[in-house]
Amino acid sequence: MKKILMFFCLVFFSLSGCVPREKYLRDLGENGNVNVDAPIVSTVTITIDAPAAKVWGIITDIPNWASWNSKVKSTHANGITYLGDNFAWRSKLKTYSAVLIFNPEKKILWLSDTMSYKSITKWDFEKISPNQTKVTLSESRDGFLMRLSSAKDHQKYLNGWLMSLKIKAETVVF
């Protein structure tokens, strides 16, 4: 029994040091950065044939994410998101997020927490022309289980977000 207890204590203390402290990640996020030292770090880019205002509006309308992105199962937010807002959403895991940077039509960044990892997600919007926007999505994921995850799978996941956003933004509404 003593050996089992020691084993669980060892595992607990080992795992507790694997996720960077909240303040460290918050400081990175507030300065506009993802954690480049995280086990999983990805950046993907896409050009969308739609005005930056439209693309921005889709991303910040969190209650409607599930209507255009099949990866999102549900959301809980108070309408359009702003600086300091908290929201929750579910894809594979329930995720709790806090908006740290909110620069309309330019950048939004949030810090998220799930049961198994913490992430920093940054969206950059660059107006190429009145009807064309370059979107860059960067995300870092920290946590013990992320050391076992595939960066390639994460990049594919983020590309799925961008492709869903592109389809939604380029859809003409009559």
What would the pLDDT profile of 68-121 be if each residue is shown by its tens digit? 999 999 999 887 788 888 999 998 889 999 999 999 999 999 999 988 889 999
Better pLDDT: 168 or 16:
168
Q: Could you give the CA distance from residue 41 to residue 88 in angstroms, rounded to a whole number?
A: 22
Name the band, by pLDDT with cuts 50, 70 and 90, for residue 11: very low
Instruction: Give the chain's radius of gyration (CA, Å).
Output: 18
Domains, the chain: 20-170 (3.30.530.20)
pLDDT above 90 coverage of the chain, percent: 67
pLDDT at 40 over 80: yes
| DSSP, res 173 | P
Query: Could you give the CA distance from residue 19 to residue 100 in angstroms, rounded to a whole number?
Result: 19
**pLDDT band at residue 9, thresholds of 50, 70 and 90?**
very low
Residue 173 has pLDDT above 90, yes or no: no
Query: How many helices, marked H, and strands, marked E, lie in the chain?
Result: 5, 7
